[in-house]
Amino acid sequence: MTNEPRNKYFDTPLSEWIDRVPSELHADAVGLWQIIGSGNDGFELQGQQLEDFVRRCIVSLLKAGAVPVRPSASLAIFWEKQSYEGDIEEVASAILGEWQRAGTEPNEDGIWFSLFDQYKGRG
């Protein structure tokens, strides 16, 4: 038996939750704001624990083939792919750093993770 945090609503262990995050990609994109919210509210994480949770979720999404996107202002496309350089860990660090530097919680207009081609051209 581990001492791993469990989601207070679903009783899901934290590592299992992280493993399941990419399963949402086949139905919808996953927003950074949603990841932070589930860590903060569902697991009651703060500080370094929340940052570690967010990083692990981002890495899990990127390994599943998701790309960072933002909602497009154009009616011709739904998402705009965001450019980050480096390997998966470096991209996760860059996104985490942006969130930390912003000093505010992201919202629906921020970074999402999408199987990009599935949304291309939708508007």
pLDDT digits (tens, 9 = 90+) for 91-105: 999 999 999 999 998
DSSP summary character for residue 69: E
Distance between CA atoms of 42 and 104, rounded to whole angstroms?
19
pLDDT reported for residue 76: 84
pLDDT per position as a tens digit, 22-58: 999 999 999 999 999 999 999 999 999 999 999 999 9
Distances (CA, A) of 51 to 79, 94, 108: 25, 12, 19
Q: What share of the chain is helix, strand, coil (3-state, %, to 5)?
A: 50, 10, 40
How much is the pTM? 0.91
* Predicted pLDDT at 123: 39
Query: Sign of the CA dihedral 107, 36, 23, 69?
Result: positive
Helix (H, G, I), strand (E, B) or coil at 81: strand
Mean pLDDT of the chain: 93
